[in-house]
Amino acid sequence: MRLDKFICKSTELTRNEAKKLLKSGDVRVNGEVAKNAAMQVHENNTITVDGQALTPRTSRYFMLHKMVDSICSNVDEVYPSVLHFLDVDKAFDLHIAGRLDADTTGLVLITDDGRWSHNVISPKKDCSKTYRVWLRNAINDDKADELIAQFKQGLQLQGESSLTRPAILEKVTDDQVLLTITEGKYHQVKRMFAAVGNKVVGLHREQIGGIELGDLAPGQWRSLTEQEVALFDPTPNK
Ligand code: URA
pTM attached to this predicted model: 0.81
One fold for both 3-53 and 128-208?
no
pLDDT value of residue 238:
41
Q: Which of 100, 127, 135, 151 to mutate to test the pocket of ligand 1 (most atoms within 8 A of CB)?
A: 100
CATH entry 3.40.140.10 includes domain 3-53:
no
The residue from 69, 76, 87, 101 that is catalytic is 101
Q: What is the mean pLDDT of the chain?
A: 94
What CATH code is assigned to 128-208? 3.30.70.1560
Where is 178: in which H helix or E strand? strand 176-181
Report how far ligand 1's centroid is from the alpha carbon of 90 (Å). Answer: 27
pLDDT value of residue 37:
96
Helices (H), the chain: 3-10, 15-24, 114-121, 141-153, 188-195, 226-230
Phi-psi label, residue 35: left if phi above 0, alpha if psi -120 to 50, beta otherwise: alpha
pLDDT at 58 over 90: no
Diameter of the chain measured on Cα atoms: 71
Report how far ligand 1's centroid is from the alpha carbon of 225 (Å). Answer: 26
Domain 61-124+214-230, what architecture?
A: 2-Layer Sandwich (3.30)
Report how far ligand 1's centroid is from the alpha carbon of 117 (Å). Answer: 18
Q: Would you list the domain boundaries of the chain?
A: 3-53, 61-124+214-230, 128-208
- What is the distance between the alpha carbons of residues 100 and 223, in angstroms, rounded to a whole number? 19
State pLDDT tens for residues 65-84: 999 999 999 999 999 999 99
Under the banding of pLDDT at 50, 70 and 90, the label for residue 236 is low
Where is 32: in which H helix or E strand? strand 32-33
- Contact status, residue 137 vs residue 197, Cβ threshold 8 Å: yes
Task: Determine whether 112 is an active site residue.
Answer: no
